[in-house]
Structure 1
Amino acid sequence: MYEVHPAQVSRQITVGVLIFPGFEMLDAYGPMEMWGSLKHAPARFWGGEEKRAGVRLVTIAATRGEIPSNQGPKTVADYSYADSPKLDYLLVPGGSGAVPLVGDTATLDWLRDQATKTKVVMSVCNGASLLAAAGILDGRPATTNKMAFKASTEPGPKVNWIKQARWVDDGAVVSSSGVSAGMDMTLAVISRLYGQPLSDWLEQITEYDAHRDPSWDPFAVKAGLVR
């Protein structure tokens, strides 16, 4: 059920996580738990040995080094914008630190560049504000944190903001609501890309009761966005 010491595989997935001073810990670490656990899944959950892949998680910031989260504990950025490796998938968390970055040229330029190279860009909470400010969400449906919906959507006047959604999957760009919603979004993305059995396995291994309906969003009602 769980391979503590997984066998060597020939295929590797690289998932990059943007971090910045004031990033929300669960925005980043919830999805990282799911992606990082994949390497322990036995071949049958992948659909066969030939479909298995290793997962490499990397953290990226404007500069390498320790980056304080919104909650206080620091995370080490493995790479800077200048030397970040080729990514298959990119995760952009939110947090109070995302607010000033909507006007940060270096961050927005890096995000635009990554959006042309990665297979899927994902955002959690007001991480969507950064994608919106970079123009990545223009003309696309997207969602964000419901308790700060107005402020979080201001950088994206050309975005089709969805008020009631746990997450919105628009193919190459996937966005989720606040904080814990990032785990539901991640499981949905993994299910789409690699199959429901693998997503089911992650739920069981992490003892997480995921919401599988992207329209499930009582927080939109609580925030007064919908009736």
Structure 2
Amino acid sequence: MNGLDVTTGNPLRIGVFVFDGAEELDVVGPYEVLAWWAEHSELRPQVVTFSADGAGVRCAKGLRIVPDYSADEVGTLHVLVYPGGRGTRSLAKDPRHLAWVRAMAVSTTLMASVCTGALVYAAAGLLAGRPVTTHRSAFAELEAIDPSALPDTEARFVDDGDIITSAGVSAGIDMAFHLVERLESPAAAGAVRYGIQYDRT
């Protein structure tokens, strides 16, 4: 399981955080990959969505999402997926939210971000001195938040052990396949890729 210990009998749980202004594909791209895997894997992972207060959110281009839980209700997660989108800018300046992100990093084995979700992780102090990627247009913002972060402007995603960051929008799908590889196997990721017809180019 590559560092994730689920031998306690607790199911593997993955939470996708949603918020106003989240980029649609940052949310539903990884969700599609992970949920398809959940339906077909012998591990039977749980994949859920949640917002700060449990209320519905409106994404960056108008898509509305009704999450499964609030942050208080979601319970223990093994993996947190944090999308990007214009809504990250206000969240990256919200001390209460950043304190929550830091607390999640303590209790969650693997923190993953898509696109400008990395800006929130940086603002929470999670990326200091670590390799990271984000949307190609957001590297200057990332540097302004944390000059010690080590940007990788070429990678689709960067796996630094307990934190995985991915580049803009569609790169979150590639990161989700990588998560399946880490959590189960390359063969499982290949099965998902075949199942949703996400062909390599």
TM-score (norm 1): 0.80
Q: What is the CA deviation profile of residues 50-100 of structure 1, one whole-angstrom value per residue up to 9, with x for unaligned ones?
A: xx2112222222211110000101111332233331101000000011111
Alignment-derived partner of residue 29 in structure 1: 28
Alignment-derived partner of residue 206 in structure 1: 196
Q: Tell me, what secondary structure is at the counterpart of 2:21?
A: coil
Q: Tell me, what secondary structure is at the counterpart of 1:54?
A: coil
* Paired-residue identity, %: 35
TM-score (norm 2): 0.90
Matches within 5 A, 1:17-166: 17-41=16-40, 52-166=42-156
Paired residues of 2:139 and 2:151 also in contact (CA < 8 A): no
Q: Tell me how far 1:163 sits from its aligned partner.
A: 1.6
Q: Tell me, what secondary structure is at the counterpart of 1:131?
A: helix
C-alpha change, 1:142 and 1:210, in structure 2 (3 Å) is farther
Consecutive unaligned residues of structure 1, counting only runs of 5 or more, are 1-9, 47-51, 212-227
Alignment-derived partner of residue 13 in structure 2: 14
Amino acid aligned to 1:72:
G
2: distance between equivalents of 1:158 and 1:18?
26
2:170 counterpart of 1:180: yes
Which deviates further from its counterpart, 96-105 or 53-62?
Answer: 53-62
Amino acid aligned to 1:109:
A
Q: Tell me how far 1:182 sits from its aligned partner.
A: 0.4
Which deviates further from its counterpart, 181-190 or 153-162?
Answer: 153-162
Paired residues of 1:102 and 1:130 also in contact (CA < 8 A): yes
Q: Tell me, what secondary structure is at the counterpart of 2:46?
A: strand
Structure with greater contact order relative to length (CA < 8 Å, sep ≥ 6) = 2
2: distance between equivalents of 1:106 and 1:77?
21
C-alpha change, 1:117 and 1:76, in structure 2 (3 Å) is same
Paired residues of 2:157 and 2:171 also in contact (CA < 8 A): yes
Amino acid aligned to 1:89:
V
Paired residues of 2:37 and 2:180 also in contact (CA < 8 A): no
How many residues are matched?
A: 193
Q: Tell me how far 1:208 sits from its aligned partner.
A: 0.5
Q: Tell me, what secondary structure is at the counterpart of 1:17?
A: strand
Q: Tell me how far 1:23 sits from its aligned partner.
A: 0.2
Q: Tell me how far 1:11 sits from its aligned partner.
A: 6.1
Consecutive unaligned residues of structure 2, counting only runs of 5 or more, are 1-8
Q: Tell me, what secondary structure is at the counterpart of 1:168?
A: strand
Paired residues of 1:138 and 1:156 also in contact (CA < 8 A): yes
